[in-house]
């Protein structure tokens, strides 16, 4: 074997050993070169500390939840969703723990847990899915509304509008200036919508004025005025062209 043949054999051996994958190699590059090994990807760390708690039973509110879930670990924040007007709970809430490990244990332990005939639904919320305004106003404690007091106010207001009795007929009192303005604005908005619907339908029609300019009394008047004699609440005996027949 000549010198050239030996050199060619050595080159072929080097190529074969270079292309041979090593034990720790994951793949061979298509463009050639030494085998490569993929970088070891570490599993993402669990940093979620916020829990969603659903199907919360009636009576199991902030204090009760803090005492119950506080057995697992330290609670940073807790919030129960409530109605803005009435303050009544909406039977779901959120809890934030200091440790993500504790949050995971609570989710695994309390999910589908039977509590006061309710199966709790507990899930871990990923950090990227937590709304930035989730904890806005979580320290606010709603005061329960007295439904009896609210109904009493509605009842008294409805009765006060018809507390003037004349000839066995109840006549409403005069509205205040603010109440009259609100009523006028409501009627005018409704009238404008009606006019727009008529124009959109292609109908040529001039809508008559539905209100006359009349200044209401500043306070609730308990007496009778001349206008009351010609209102629809006045008895027929009082309707007359003679103003002197009206009782002032």
152-181: pLDDT as tens digits? 887 776 655 544 444 444 445 566 788 888
Residue with tokens 């916020």: 50
pLDDT band at 43 (very low <50, low <70, confident <90, very high): confident
pLDDT at 155: 77
pLDDT at 238 over 70: no
Q: pTM of this prediction?
A: 0.48
Average pLDDT of the chain to the nearest whole number: 76
pLDDT cut 70: percent of the chain above it: 66
What is the average per-residue pLDDT within 143-151?
79
pLDDT at 223 over 50: no
Top-confidence residue, 210 or 60 = 60
pLDDT at 90: 93
Determine the Cα–Cα distance for residues 224 and 166; give it in Å rounded to an integer: 9
Neighbours of 28 (CB within 10 A): 14
Determine the Cα–Cα distance for residues 246 and 227; give it in Å rounded to an integer: 9
> How far is Cα of residue 132 from the mean position of the Cα atoms in its chain?
14
Q: At residue 182, what are phi and psi to the nearest 5 degrees?
A: -65, -40
Contacts of 13 (CB under 8 A, 6+ apart): none
Pairing status of strand 118-119 against strand 121-125: unpaired
pLDDT at 49 over 70: yes
83-139: pLDDT as tens digits? 888 888 999 999 999 999 999 999 999 999 999 999 999 999 999 999 999 998 888
What is the average per-residue pLDDT within 142-154?
79
pLDDT at 16 over 60: no
Closest C-alpha to 92, from 79, 102, 75 = 79
| Window from 22-31, 118-127, 173-182, 201-210 with minimum mean pLDDT | 22-31
Top-confidence residue, 11 or 71 = 71
Determine the Cα–Cα distance for residues 81 and 50; give it in Å rounded to an integer: 15
**Element containing residue 67 per DSSP (H, E):** helix 62-69
Structure tokens that stand for 128 in this block = 């990227």
Domains and CATH numbers, the chain: 49-129 (3.30.70.330)
């Amino acid at each position: 074997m000549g010198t050239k043949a030996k050199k060619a054999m050595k080159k072929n051996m080097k190529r074969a050993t270079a292309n041979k994958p090593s034990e720790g190699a994951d793949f061979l590059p298509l463009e050639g070169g030494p085998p490569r090994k993929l970088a070891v990807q570490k599993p993402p760390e669990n940093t979620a500390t916020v829990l969603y708690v659903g199907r919360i039973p009636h009576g199991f509110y902030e204090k009760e939840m803090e005492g119950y879930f506080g057995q697992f670990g330290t609670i940073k924040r807790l919030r129960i969703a409530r109605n803005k007007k009435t303050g009544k709970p909406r039977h779901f809430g959120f809890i934030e723990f200091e440790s993500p490990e504790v949050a995971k244990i609570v989710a695994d332990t309390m999910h589908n847990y039977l509590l006061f005939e309710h199966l709790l639904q507990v899930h871990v919320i990923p950090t990227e899915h937590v709304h930035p305004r989730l904890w806005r106003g979580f320290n606010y404690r709603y005061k329960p509304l007295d439904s009896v007091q609210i109904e009493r106010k509605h009842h008294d207001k409805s009765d006060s509008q018809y507390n003037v009795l004349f000839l066995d007929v109840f006549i409403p009192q005069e509205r205040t200036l603010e109440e009259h303005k609100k009523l006028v604005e409501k009627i005018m908005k409704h009238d404008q919508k009606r006019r727009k619907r008529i124009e959109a339908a292609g109908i040529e029609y001039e809508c008559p004025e539905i209100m006359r300019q009349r200044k209401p009394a500043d306070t609730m008047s308990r007496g009778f005025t001349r206008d009351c004699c010609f209102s629809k609440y006045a008895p027929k005996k009082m309707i007359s062209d003679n103003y002197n027949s009206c009782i002032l």
